């Protein structure tokens, strides 16, 4: 087994003049999120990549069952559970324990929530996607992404 790489504790991030930190998710939560993302995103991606080769299979892949609102909300809460924002009182979680936004104005700021979720996923999964998934998907299609960086 490869040695575990030393990683920084968090990723600093600035958005709309506010300082954020994205921390590592715990391993079980990260694996669950990865599982959900791959079950949701991978079938349509593979379907679109293989549409020219197997047109009849791409429609089935794209027709993967969508997530319900409660499933999506639960996943979003998990994804955002590792994000903190600097407030006058110090660093606080972006979302409360019940999943509601802890940052004033965040409950109606779709762009900010989406950006934080994307940054959290990018930070927590960049090693996996760069080192494991890209070569796996590329190998399945006979492609090698030599200089691919996430």
Q: Which helix (H) or strand (E) holds 41?
A: helix 27-49
Q: Residues 44, 61: contact at Cβ < 8 Å? A: yes
pLDDT of residue 46: 60
Question: What are the tens digits of pLDDT across the range 30-86?
Answer: 999 988 887 776 666 566 655 665 566 545 555 556 778 898 889 999 999 999 999
Residue identified by tokens 């900010």 is: 112
pLDDT of residue 147: 46
| CA distances to 76, 78, 138 from 26, in Å | 15, 10, 28
Q: What percent of the chain has pLDDT over 70?
A: 65
pLDDT of residue 95: 94
Closest Cα to residue 130, out of 112, 149, 104, 147? 149
């Amino acid at each position: 087994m490869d040695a575990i790489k030393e990683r920084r504790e968090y990723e600093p991030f600035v958005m709309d003049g506010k300082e954020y930190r994205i921390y590592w998710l715990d391993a079980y939560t990260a694996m669950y999120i990865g599982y959900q993302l791959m079950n949701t995103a991978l079938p349509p991606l593979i379907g679109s990549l293989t549409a020219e080769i197997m047109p009849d299979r791409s429609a089935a892949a794209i027709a993967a069952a969508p997530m319900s609102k409660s499933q999506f909300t639960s996943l979003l809460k998990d994804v955002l559970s590792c994000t903190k924002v600097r407030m006058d009182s110090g660093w606080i979680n972006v979302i409360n324990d019940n999943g509601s936004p802890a940052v004033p104005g965040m409950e109606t700021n779709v762009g900010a929530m989406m950006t934080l979720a994307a940054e959290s996923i990018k930070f927590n999964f960049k090693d996996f996607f760069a080192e494991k998934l890209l070569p796996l998907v590329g190998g399945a299609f006979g492609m090698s992404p030599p200089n691919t960086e996430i």
